[in-house]
Chain A
């Protein structure tokens, strides 16, 4: 059970301690970079797309535990999804999957959604095939 007085849910801490899909990607099909180091959060998300399906995803994040955990969670959520499905993933879905975030940290989930959208947009701009 999550301690009601702890800052983060167990899920967030688990993803912070063992983030999934960390790293860079060689020749990604799409890259999204959002945030600003001055504000304390920068996320970089790379995707590999095959036949309209996100077959691989990696991230690098500078930020608080919530920023790292939301990045990690969003990569797990998009893997294997079609680009169209991935575009529908909202920041709320990421927050829910992490069993919630403190109100002051919800912006991290928005950043994760933005990073994903930016990577997909980058892919769509690069590829000639429309959705």
Chain B
């Protein structure tokens, strides 16, 4: 059975071109970038080339890019780095209730250490109101962190407007752009952000690598202490092959992004339209237009998400409920609850995230299979009878 992978927001396959670019840096060009002999300098050069590529894709300068172990580390570094470097100025951070846990859990950690966090609400589409951000700013506010696009429902936030507000108030502004970089245009000057998180494996690069953009002049403490790599911000011998892979992945993404986003948006709309037409009592979660080109998120009443996923998996279709990280916890998605979705409806949510490898036939296959799965599970659901 051909497997249809529709969970590209969880992770993407590493592109063969990326793997090919990485391979020499495991063996022939294995040197430590901090060594002065030629092996080291080859590795150093490869890292700097990758840095330029990442910077180019987001409109930054290469010296403003710090490589990390991934999106989670970039988020951790942005929040803790700014918080601890600016403690004397203030202890207030503004974020939203729908951030990825790599931001929310850091905020909770900081809360336990004397920082005050404002978690802004969102509307039914998942949008943060820039006015709410403005009103939440106090003279103690040191950082605003609002994601560029939500990983579960795909809503694209008004980051540019929030950036303007942050700049006027002279407050640092971070955005988690893990779901957008390489997928839709991202420019740090247009978005007016001071810090921006990038992940490699969400854009067909390898796992275990990411980057944090840090605007020149931003005050933050060192994240890793040791040998002084990454401008003393993040010590430790660089993960050269992965960094090279990230560089290659962003290069390819930059070339293909526009066309690919258009193609995926077409498939997305076809899938959403088909699901709404073929299945009763189904609602689309997220924003109708301000939406990632690859994101479909729906809630089917009277059925539970895991049994939907497992039934789809038996048909060779890989989707998710909410986010992959949440699988271990049975609580309904914090994002859907923040959008005002009822908990029992959030339990029946399904996310499909399209990727480069998906075709129209894949979308048709989901539309062929899912209505029957929903009908089968509803037939054994005690909720349908009581709500009819």
Contacts and interface: CB of A to CB of B under 8 A. Distances in A.
Interface stretch (A56-64, A88-96, A123-131): A56-64
Interface in B318-349: 328, 330, 332, 343-344, 347
Contact of A68 (B307, B343, B344, B347): B307
Contact of B307 (A23, A39, A59, A65): A65
5 contacts: A41-B304, A59-B380, A60-B385, A62-B304, A65-B306
Interface string A81-107: 000000000000000000000001000
- The contact size tier of chain B is 20 to 34
A64 B382 contact: no
A37 B379 contact: no
Given A16-B307, A39-B330, A68-B307, A61 B347 contact: no
A64 B332 CA distance: 13
B302 interface: yes
B382 A60 contact: yes
A37 B307 contact: no
Contacts of A39: 330
B343 A37 contact: yes
> Interface residues of B: mostly helix, strand, loop or mixed?
helix
Interface in B295-317: 302-307, 310, 314
Contacts of A4: none
Interface residues of A, number: 26
Contacts of A104: 328, 330
Contacts, number: 61
B347 A43 contact: no
Given A63-B304, A64-B306, A37 B383 contact: yes
Contact of A33 (B314, B379, B382): B382
Contact of B380 (A33, A41, A60): A60
A62 B314 CA distance: 19
B38 interface: no
B307 A22 contact: no
B381 interface: yes
Contacts of A52: none
Nearest to B310: A65
B346 to A, nearest CB: 9
A19 interface: yes
Contacts of A68: 307, 380
A61 B310 contact: no
Contact of A61 (B314, B328, B330, B381): B381
A16 B379 contact: no
Interface in A30-57: 33, 37-44
Most buried by B among A23, A37, A38, A61: A37
